[in-house]
Amino acid sequence: MDRSDEKQPATRALPETSAPAASPIVMSGPPNANVASGRPATVHALRNEIRVWTRDLLIAIGLALVIIVFLYQPVKVEGTSMAPLLSDQERIFINKFVYRFEPIERGDVVVFWYPLDRTKSFIKRVVGLPGETVEIRQGAVYVNGHSVPEPYVPPQYEDLSDFGPVRVPKDSYFVMGDHRISSNDSRVFGPVASHFIYGRAVFAYWPVDHFGSLSGAEESTK
């Protein structure tokens, strides 16, 4: 007799083979912390860079101040004796150390203590050097008998009178203003001793339309 209706012994189900459990992931922070963890490093690097730039900027400013204070001096021009190169109330920088390394040359625009009142400073152009003979004939300047070109003196500023001849003493300089008809210069107070000269005009910074180097005007006369 077919014993199909007989209960079959229950077959023990074998456990399914499952993949081994993955190793637990230890999270040290919230999700995406691995991305966010780079931000502090970036901020730190940015702060370091800002500190470096700030330090370099302060050093540059300090050096600039040292250069201005010890090498250059800002001065204000009063009067029109150096027009048209310099105008009344114009601000310029003078180099106070240049003549420790270079000789004073004809055409230089120099600043010096006024020989008749050493509490005042004048600014003029060097015309005659030590040992030279300076003479003015109808407004034209002659040095050692030779005419000196003066493109910096406009015709309307010329003084057509005569002067000299005079010999410039050793270690002294004959100076004149470019605005000859309104300049108190060596024609009045005589040559200027070299130890009175303490700087050369190098740069104009105010007003802005005069902003620029004054050296070109000097070089064109040499």
Q: Catalytic positions, please? A: 81, 124
- DSSP assignment string, 85-117: TS-TT-EEEEESSGGGTS---TT-EEEEE-TT-
Q: How many residues are recorded in the chain? A: 222
Distance CA 65, CA 123 (A): 24
Give the residue from 148, 153, 139 showing the smallest Cα distance to 85: 153
Among 125, 107, 82, 99, which residue's Cα sits nearest to residue 194? 99
User: Do the bridges between strand 72-76 and strand 172-176 make them parallel or antiparallel, or are there none, so unpaired?
Assistant: unpaired
